[in-house]
Amino acid sequence: MKFQKVNTLKGEMTIPGDKSISHRAVMFGSLAEGLTEVSNFLQGADCLSTIDAFRKMGIEIENTPEKILIRGKGLHGLQAPSSVLDMGNSGTTTRLISGILAGQTFESTLTGDASIQKRPMKRIMEPLSMMGAKLVSVNGNDCAPLHITGSPLHGIHYHSKVASAQVKSAVLLAGLYADGETRVTEPNLSRNHTEIMLHYFGADLQAEGKTARIAPEPRLEGRQIDVPGDISSAAYFIAAGLIVPGSEILIKNVGINPTRDGILRVAREMGANITLLNEKHDGEPTADLLVKHSPLHGVTIEGDIIPTLIDELPVINIMAACAEGTTVIRDAAELKVKESNRIDIMVQYLSAMGCDITGTDDGMIIHGGKPLRGTVVDSHLDHRIAMSFAIASLAAGGETEIKGSDVVNISYPGFYEDLARLCKS
Ligand code: S3P
């Protein structure tokens, strides 16, 4: 797809449902007894991979335009899949489902696309093996495909080296099938959607600080879930509204869980004018975000805020490129093992656009304020790379071309249409 600089962005929008919460609703609904109804489910390719996997294990899941209906069969109701489970591009599906499959009484094999087959799985294989799970990387490279032989599991207290909700969730889900309590302590708190939702489904789960604990064999019961809009998807429109002169955008019903709202905190520190309206705090908190164009300045982003904005760092790079002064990002080595190596790729293409950016071992340094010019970007099978450079193009001279642009369907089908609707020439 090709993009040009725009004059301004104006209007109101509702962004699609949260990806992390949509995945979990299908997974936990499948393990619960009775009907789970999910509204505002994200119809992105990643979440459809999760639906597919549970259907292959005998769960009836109806996908209607208004609601997803999941007829759960309880903790021990899954059946052996008749074929390999295809995770597509989804790291969340791969890692969380591994925790569930580890405690079953059958064998299964998981695979996925070229990106998934390069992503590290040792981080879940290690703790799950400590619990007694039998997981093998088929090609012996600690990546998918994974072969899992369901086994009796033991409760452990796992101290994770990375702040990763996917690792934490895999261990907690295996803990549903363990012979005693399971605990996970992480170096910094990662997103806590698993803790909130499993508790809502009836699990005996407590979270305190950086430790979550779960008791085995709960009776999970079907629930109603209204998925909030995804702040990670809203991030592109927040950035667009801030960097394009004269813009004013109202983004409705966005999830503002404190383990995900780092982008709001950083944007404000950079000088952003963002107002939260219509805040709701029952269950997962939400608000409408009113974003107005603002002159931005560089900041340092490091430490325990990193997990709360890890997926937003590519688009925060774009904001930093348009800000006056220097932005330093540290403690974000996790960027190298996302859908692509997001340090290398951001440095490669932002440099090509004329930005002064240097990659480091755990982040990047950006001297902002230089005018950007269009370039050709390859998405590298990474939805967040494609969307970040679509936003950069709005403030860049000349033409920007994004190859592999349809990868946005992973987390945001309709992204380009929503963007085009707000752009005013
Ligand atoms: C996710 C957790 C994060 C995030 C990913 C979704 C989740 O990954 O990057 O997009 O739904 O649990 P890590 O837990 O590996 O940091």
- pLDDT tens string 336-352: 999 999 999 999 999 99
- Measured at the CA of 27, the angle between CA 94 and CA 81, to 5 degrees, comes to 65
Choosing from 311, 378, 382, 418, which is the catalytic residue? 311
Burial 267-302 (b: 16+ CB within 10 A, else e): beebebebeeeeeeeeebbbbbbbbebbebbbbebe
CATH for 2-16+228-424?
Answer: 3.65.10.10
Pocket perturbation via mutation, ligand 1, pick of 46, 87, 122, 164 by most ligand atoms within 8 A of CB: 164
User: 310 near 332, Cβ under 8 Å?
Assistant: yes
Q: Is 257 in the pocket of ligand 1 (CB under 6 A)?
A: no
pLDDT digits (tens, 9 = 90+) for 170-221: 999 999 999 999 999 999 999 999 999 999 999 999 999 999 999 999 999 9
The dihedral over CA atoms of 197, 201, 205, 206, expressed in degrees to the nearest 10, equals 50
Nearest CA to ligand 1 atom 13: 164
pLDDT digits (tens, 9 = 90+) for 399-415: 999 999 999 999 999 99
Q: Is 195 in the pocket of ligand 1 (CB under 6 A)?
A: no
Q: Is 311 in the pocket of ligand 1 (CB under 6 A)?
A: yes
Q: Is 165 in the pocket of ligand 1 (CB under 6 A)?
A: yes
Q: Is 232 in the pocket of ligand 1 (CB under 6 A)?
A: no
- Read off the pTM: 0.98
Q: Looking at residue 65, what is its pLDDT? A: 86
Using only C-alpha atoms, the chain has a radius of gyration, in whole angstroms, of: 21
Domain ranges in the chain are 2-16+228-424, 19-226
How many other C-beta atoms are found inside a 10 Å radius of the C-beta of residue 358? 11
Q: Order across the sheet with 363-368: list the strands.
A: 300-301, 325-329, 363-368, 356-360
Whether a cis peptide bond, with omega within 30° of 0, leads into 258 is: no
Q: Is 405 in the pocket of ligand 1 (CB under 6 A)?
A: no
Nearest CA to ligand 1 atom 5: 92
For 14-148, where are the alpha helices, taking DSSP H only? 19-31, 45-56, 91-102, 122-130
pLDDT digits (tens, 9 = 90+) for 258-288: 999 999 999 999 999 999 999 999 889 999 9
User: Do the first three CATH levels of 2-16+228-424 and 19-226 match, i.e. the same topology?
Assistant: yes
pLDDT digits (tens, 9 = 90+) for 49-93: 999 999 999 999 999 989 999 999 999 999 999 899 999 999 999
Classified by CATH at the fold level, domain 19-226 comes out as UDP-n-acetylglucosamine1-carboxyvinyl-transferase; Chain (3.65.10)
Q: Which atom of ligand 1 is nearest to the CA of 23?
A: 11
Pocket perturbation via mutation, ligand 1, pick of 116, 191, 316, 341 by most ligand atoms within 8 A of CB: 191
How many other C-beta atoms are found inside a 10 Å radius of the C-beta of residue 195? 22
Catalytic residue status for 311: yes
Pocket perturbation via mutation, ligand 1, pick of 190, 309, 336, 384 by most ligand atoms within 8 A of CB: 190
Nearest CA to ligand 1 atom 11: 20
